[in-house]
Structure 1
Amino acid sequence: MKTIIIDDEEMARAIIEKLSSNNKKINLKESFSNAIEAIKYLNQNSVDLIFLDIHMPGFTGFDLLQTLKNPPKVILTTSDKNFAIEAFEYDCIVDYLVKPVTQERFNKAVQKAVLFVQNDAAQPKIEEQEEIKELYVNIDRRLVKINFETINLVEAKGDYILIKTESKNYTVHSTMKKIEEKLPDDLFLKVHRSFIINTKKIIDIEDNSVLIGNNVIPVSRSNRPELMKRLNLL
C-alpha cells in the first residue's frame, strides 16, 4: 500500500518509519512533519494509507481530514486515548494506535487497513456528483477556506496571485494556471492573461473592460467573445 506518515515529532516519525520497514505490505512514499506540506502532496499524489498524528500545533489530524474530499484510509497515532470516540466519526479511519506502538500492534492495524483497501477496490466506482463550493488557500501556514461565490476576481502578481473577495483580499503563492483549474468554469472566466473574474459579479461592461466592485478589469480581444456568450443579453 502506498503510504505516508504525518507527525510533527521527529522521533515518532522515525518509529513509524522503522515499523513500516518491517512490514512488506507498506510502501512508504513520504514522511511529513506538518499537515500543510502533506496536503500539498495529497493534492498531487494518490495514497492508500496515512499514519496520522492527532496532536499537531496549529492544525490537528482531524483538521487535516476535514480538508480532504476523498481521504484514503487512515491509522491514527497518538499518546492520548481520549480521542478514540471522535475517531469513529470518520469512515476513513480504520484503526487507532496509542504510542508507544509495538510491531505486533502495528502489523495488526496494517492488516486491517489492507482489508479495507481491498474491499474498496472491489466495489464499483460511483462518480460523486456533489459540487465543490470552496477552495482552501495557504496563508501563513494556515489553510483558509474561501467560498467560490464570494470571490470577485483573481489577479496575477508575479509569483503570487491576489484573490479579491467580497470582504477580504488574499495573496497566495500560486499561478493563474493552478487557480484556474480549481475554479468552476460556469462561474469564472479568464478575461485577460492577468485576470480571472466571477462573471456573476460584473456590474457593467464598457469597451474592453468590465467593472467588478470598484475594480476596472481589462478584457482582451480574444476573450471578449466568450465573455459575451456568458451574458444574458436583452
Structure 2
Amino acid sequence: MKCVIIDDEKTARLTLSKLCERVGDIEVLAEFENPADALTFLAENQIDLLFLDIHMPELKGSEFVKSVSELPDVVMTTTDPSFALEAFQYNVVDYLVKPISLGRFLKTMEKVKAKKTEAPKSEEETSIFVNINSRLVKLNFDEVQIIEAKGDYVQIKTEDKKYTVHNTLKKIEEKLPVSKFLKVHRSYIINLDKIVDIEDNSILIAEEIIPVSRANREVLLNRLNML
C-alpha cells in the first residue's frame, strides 16, 4: 500500500513514517510539511492512502480535501479529540489523535484494508476458484484453514487437502473476505474461525503452529471475541 504523509510537524511525520514501517506493508512515497506542495505529487502519482493533519498554518486539512477532486483514502490526524467529528464530515476512513499509539494505528489500518477489500456486492462471497494444474478448483472459505507463502507459490490448506497455487499471498489476500481471514505474518493468512489456541506469538490451527508477528498480534486480539 502506497501512502503520503502531510503534516506541518516534523515529529508527527516521523512517528507516522515509523509506524508504517513497523506494520510492514505500507510504503511511504513522500512526506510534505506544506499541503500545497503535495498537490502536484498527488496528481502525478498513484496513491492508496493519505495521512493528513487537520490543522496546519498554510492550509487546513479540511480545506485541502475540498480542493482536490480525486483523493485516495484519507486518514486525518489531530492533537485535539474534539475535532474527530469534523474529520468525519469529509468522508475520511478514520482519524488519529496525537500522540499516535501502535494499537490505535493498527485499528485504523484494519479499517483502511477492510474498505479496500470490501466487495461491492450486497452479499459476501463464500468461495473462490483457484487454478490447480490447469483446472479451476472451487474452495469454500469455510474449509480453508491456513494460506502459506512458499517462494513463488502459495499453499492453501483445507481440512483434508493441500493445494499449491502459482500466485502471491498479497493477490490471494485481496480475494478473501476480511471478516473471516487475517494476515498474521508476512508468510501466513489464517481463517479466524479455525483458531484452536493462542500462546505468546503463535497460533494453533489443526495441530499446526503458526507464527504471529508482533505488529499483527494486537490486530488479531482485537478481532477475536474474548471474555
Structure 1 moving runs of 4+ over 3 Å: none
Deviation of the 1:84 alpha carbon: 1.2
Percent of aligned pairs with the same amino acid: 41
Deviation string for 1:1-55 (max 9, x for gaps)?
1101000111111111111110123121111111011111111112111111111
The 5-angstrom pairing of residues 1-40 of structure 1 reads: 1-40=1-40
Q: Is the 8 A contact 2:4 2:49 kept in 1?
A: yes
Deviation of the 1:118 alpha carbon: 2.1
How many residues are aligned here? Answer: 121
Q: Is the 8 A contact 1:3 1:26 kept in 2?
A: yes
Secondary structure in 1 matching 2:109: helix
| Structure 1 unaligned blocks of 5 or more | 125-234
Deviation string for 1:118-161 (max 9, x for gaps)?
23xx549xxxxxxxxxxxxxxxxxxxxxxxxxxxxxxxxxxxxx
**1:112 maps to what in 2?**
111
Q: Is the 8 A contact 1:20 1:28 kept in 2?
A: yes
Q: Is the 8 A contact 2:62 2:90 kept in 1?
A: no
Is 1:86 the counterpart of 2:82? The answer is no
Distance 1:82 1:97 in 2: 12
**1:74 maps to what in 2?**
74
> Whose radius of gyration is greater, 1 or 2?
1
Secondary structure in 2 matching 1:15: helix
Q: Is the 8 A contact 1:39 1:64 kept in 2?
A: no
Secondary structure in 2 matching 1:28: strand
**2:44 maps to what in 1?**
44
Q: Is the 8 A contact 2:35 2:58 kept in 1?
A: no
Distance 2:43 2:94 in 1: 23
The 5-angstrom pairing of residues 154-193 of structure 1 reads: none
Distance 2:13 2:58 in 1: 18
Which amino acid in the other structure matches residue 100 of structure 2?
V
Secondary structure in 2 matching 1:76: strand
Distance 2:27 2:64 in 1: 22
Q: Is the 8 A contact 1:77 1:97 kept in 2?
A: yes
Q: What is the RMSD computed on CA atoms of the aligned residues? A: 1.4
